[in-house]
Structure 1
């Protein structure tokens, strides 16, 4: 699946994300500007780096509408959503908190993931040693690329085998 992130105009409050599946079908959603890398692009880093194919983008790649998928994976009370999708959301939220703070702190990252999972009634995901720091570095690298995209320009990212 290909992700196509498009910057709007300088004064817009949202950018756009289009997911183009391997079968040619597509789904799209606005990406609110937050002053940090958009939430949906942080998902790309987490899911592609960790190889989590049952998370947000895996559900979208399987044919689900992106809006429907967002509603399901962001609902803390849904028990029918795969653990991986919930874990991805928790990791993304914790990484975003680290981005807002401007620096990475392993203990705060882990505490953030643990708390976000607990709030959703799930246990902590199995993460390899150093995963938080590696994900943070990857998010910063993607953010640097995103910041170079001109107004009305696009950034294309591939999710192989999805």
Structure 2
């Protein structure tokens, strides 16, 4: 599967989901000042090998923003939110602080946290920083393709 992120001129970017065995799907991604939300999903899921939105797309689910609840993908979603918060803070939060926020977020949403540690957080952040550099170098109307 490929995810093709295209930088938009307005309030949205676009993600196209390309699979060999299904029609392509497109998702509008509201701009948030950092990489697109689903690009953060790509980083978390590809580095940690966890089942979340992108993995579920690869397994054949449709690109619906309201996928059914699943324990592991709910934990992935909370972790993606923590990385987004880190991005809005300049990608500089201490991994221990991010883990604390993750546990609090999971507890507030009655979600079982994934077993992750500081090294996992650093590895995901390294992937996100590489994606950020690539996305920042992408002009409006241009795309970044990611294989999953």
TM-score by length of 2: 0.91
CA RMSD of aligned residues (A): 1.5
Q: What aligned pairs does 1:12-31 form with structure 2 within 5 A after superposition?
A: 12-31=10-29
**Contact persistence 1:104–1:136 (CA under 8 A):** no
Could you list the runs of 5+ residues in structure 1 that have no partner in the other structure?
Answer: 74-80
How far the C-alpha of 1:55 sits from its partner, in A, is 1.4
Pairwise CA distance, 1:119: 2.4
Mapping 1:123-162, distance limit 5 Å: 123-159=112-148
Q: What's the TM-score once normalised by structure 1's chain length?
A: 0.84
Contact persistence 1:90–1:112 (CA under 8 A): no
Instruction: Pick from 72, 76, 86 the counterpart of residue 84 of structure 1.
Output: 72
Residue 135 (structure 1) shift: 1.1
Do the aligned partners of 1:45 and 1:135 also contact (CA within 8 Å) in 2? yes
Show the 5 A alignment for 1:1-162: 1-9=1-9, 12-52=10-50, 54-67=51-64, 70-72=65-67, 81-102=69-90, 103-159=92-148
Q: Residue 66 of structure 1: SS of its match in structure 2?
A: coil
Which sections of structure 2, spanning at least 5 residues, go unmatched? none
* Whole-angstrom CA distance in 2 between matches of 1:62 and 1:122: 23
**Partners of 1:86 and 1:28 in 2: how far apart?**
22
Using the alignment, how far apart are the partners of 1:48 and 1:152 within structure 2?
A: 26
State the shift of 1:107 in Å.
2.3
Instruction: Please give the per-residue CA displacement for 1:47-78, whole angstroms capped at 9, x wherever unaligned.
Output: 011112x31112222222212xx2136xxxxx
